[in-house]
A and B are shown apart, each in its own frame.
Chain A
Amino acid sequence: MGSYLPLFLLFVLAAAFALFSALLGPLVGPRRYNRAKLEAYECGIEPSPQPIVGGGRVPVAYYLTAMLFILFDIEMVFLYPFAVSADALGFFGLVEIVLFISTLGFAYAYVWRRGGLDWN
């Protein structure tokens, strides 16, 4: 665990730096608020009445992208250990990884045909 100590120290310092910067604004900046200033910015027109936080609607295509991301991210993560020990595994590893990629390739082709990758 010793080799992770510098990383941890850097994390603490970086977080402290971020916190300090975020608190600096309200400390030294002016505070002259009025109602118009505190409204959500929509190019000067009246803000939309629907509450965005909590009850707002979000286009469903983004959820699909997020799920596909998980699928391919896991594929990516599985490819790393293979890549590290590819020379030691030889032909066996190659056959295994080709099977793995082609299995996911079927899922990928399915998603493509069903229009999961289209943005219109």
Chain B
Amino acid sequence: MTRAELLADDPLWLILIKVVVVLLIGPLLTVFMIVWERKAIGRLQQRPGPNRVGPGGYFQSIADAIKLPFKEQIIPATADRKVYFLAPMIAVTPALLAFSVMPIGPQVSIFGEQTVLQLVDLPVGVLVVLACASVGVYGIVLAGWSSGSPYPLLGGLRSAAQVISYEIAMGLSIVGVVLYAQSLSTGDIVEAQQNGWFFYLLPFSFVIYLISMVGETNRAPFDLPEAESELVGGFHTEYSSMKFALFFLAEYTNMIVVSAFATTLFLGGWMAPWPISLIGDNYFNSGWWPILWFFGKMFVLLFCFIWLRATLPRFRYDQFMKIGWKVLVPLNLVWIVLIAGLRAIRGESDVTTGQILTYGGIVILVIIGLSFAFDRGRVIEDDDQVPITGGGYPVPPLDLEIPKAPKRKAVRGRNRRRPAAVGAGTDAEKESNDGDL
């Protein structure tokens, strides 16, 4: 039986168990992630991190979670109260929903009932995850807008522009996977990786996915919506108590979801890594073992998030948008055409992959050689200089000039010159004389 058929005849009690488990994955992992992140960043910065609450400090975020509802909830007088109330819920609900299509394991038996470790295996599973990511943006934008305060508004707008820009790069990087798996169902995509995981069959898609996944979740080094040095707290500046906690939960759940999605799409999902998969007769790829591989791969990716945050400084906004629109999107489109062409050629005629790679390599080398030949003598523009603006809202003018020399000096200079050149000096001359003093 296929995965979808096994899932279709689940009894209601089993569906309810799965629903509750999938719902709890997000909050529980968030609680763990927060303390893990704080400890890991502490170690990376040569300090112990939280170490007071519980063994090794690992109960710190549980204490924080209990504390938060007992804090005063402040709604600013300028806020649009209905939207302000709804925004955190709009942010968190789709984030919790997205985990439903992740295939965590193969066929198992739960209390005598044959099923697979997945809530639903929809024929449009990939689209469900993308849709959940898109709807989550509404929560952020509405939170920023409804707070009635400038910093959250700017944070919300930035976040919206960033998330939608990187969603295109992310969506386009998934096209390669769909092309190879010939299916949009997440269960089928994992099963299509039995002969080779997509991260080395589609290395370029994988790299683009990893970059855009960090941009999509508003995490460092792309955490511009909540750039503390510029926007206080970003879109959730005006949120306190449990509503703030909901935004936190949404952010971390989104991280968990994109990591799980990367595992599913590129890292073989629940399948055991290479040397282990050879042991026995697929022993480690059956039963309950795959849960270990799935979450193991996911935690490796989650650690990368923490590592990035500890290592890299924040990007500047224009550089960040430039990478998204001018690098990731066009390269992605070229890559899609390339792999679609390769597949079509292989399907139509009996050309081997080796021949394609040889001829393709020659063509690419010729193009690179030509580009070097024509590149001489070109002036390279300095893209990293401070952007100079006209002082429009909301960016203050950055091309501030040093004020001119005080007037008294200028007058004295002119007085001294007056007997020699009355009415003879031009303005330019006066300027230069002032400078000499």
A residues touching B (Cβ–Cβ < 8 Å)? 2-7, 9-11, 13-15, 17-19, 21-22, 24-33, 37-43, 47-48, 51-53, 56-59, 61-62, 65-66, 68-69, 72-73, 76-77, 79-80, 82-87, 90-91, 93-94, 97-98, 101, 105, 108, 112, 117-120
Contact = CB atoms under 8 A, between A and B. Distances in A.
A25 B348 CA distance: 63
A79 B19 contact: no
B76 A39 contact: yes
Contact of A76 (B148, B175, B176): B175
Given A62-B161, A108-B330, A48 B150 contact: yes
B4 A10 contact: no
B70 A87 contact: no
Given A13-B19, A40-B148, A66-B160, A28 B344 contact: no
Contacts of A18: 88-89, 92-93, 96, 246
A39 B77 contact: yes
18 contacts: A5-B15, A6-B10, A7-B122, A10-B19, A10-B23, A11-B97, A17-B27, A21-B242, A26-B241, A39-B76, A52-B150, A58-B153, A59-B393, A69-B168, A80-B184, A87-B343, A90-B347, A119-B317
A79 B20 CA distance: 35
Contacts of A90: 344, 347-348
B122 A47 contact: no
B23 A14 contact: yes
B310 to A, nearest CB: 27
A22 B171 contact: no
A120 B389 contact: yes
Contact of A9 (B16, B96, B241): B16
Top 9 closest pairs, chain A to chain B, by CB: A40-B149, A119-B318, A25-B242, A25-B241, A83-B178, A18-B89, A14-B96, A76-B171, A69-B164
Interface stretch (B31-39, B214-222, B319-327, B410-418): B319-327
B100 interface: yes
Contacts of A15: 89, 93
A52 B89 CA distance: 22
A26 B15 contact: no
A87 B272 CA distance: 28
User: For chain B, what secondary structure do more than half of its interface residues adopt (helix, strand, loop), or is it mixed?
Assistant: helix
Which bracket fits the contact residues of B? Answer: 35 or more
A101 to B, nearest CB: 6
Interface stretch (B104-112, B258-266, B334-342, B365-373): B334-342
B122 to A, nearest CB: 6
Contacts of B232: 41, 43
A41 B73 contact: no
B65 to A, nearest CB: 10
B322 A91 contact: no
B64 to A, nearest CB: 14
A38 B75 contact: yes
Given A79-B172, A112-B326, A47 B347 contact: no
Given A3-B8, A22-B88, A53 B120 contact: no
Given A24-B69, A80-B175, 5 more contacts: A3-B7, A10-B100, A18-B92, A39-B76, A53-B80
Contacts of B147: 40, 52
B102 to A, nearest CB: 12
B335 to A, nearest CB: 11
A102 B430 CA distance: 59
A37 B184 CA distance: 50
A117 B325 contact: yes
B223 interface: no
B198 interface: no
A52 B183 CA distance: 46
B331 interface: no
Nearest to B92: A18
A52 B119 contact: no
Contacts of B333: 101, 105
B165 A65 contact: yes
A13 B74 CA distance: 27
B403 interface: no
B123 to A, nearest CB: 9
B8 A2 contact: yes
A43 B232 CA distance: 8
A17 B321 CA distance: 35
A40 B343 contact: no
B134 to A, nearest CB: 9
B347 A87 contact: yes
Contacts of B241: 25-26, 29
Given A10-B19, A18-B89, A52 B78 contact: yes
Given A25-B243, A62-B157, A79-B172, A98 B337 contact: yes
Nearest to A105: B333
B299 interface: no
Interface string B296-336: 00000000000000000000011001100110011001001
Contacts of B145: 52-53
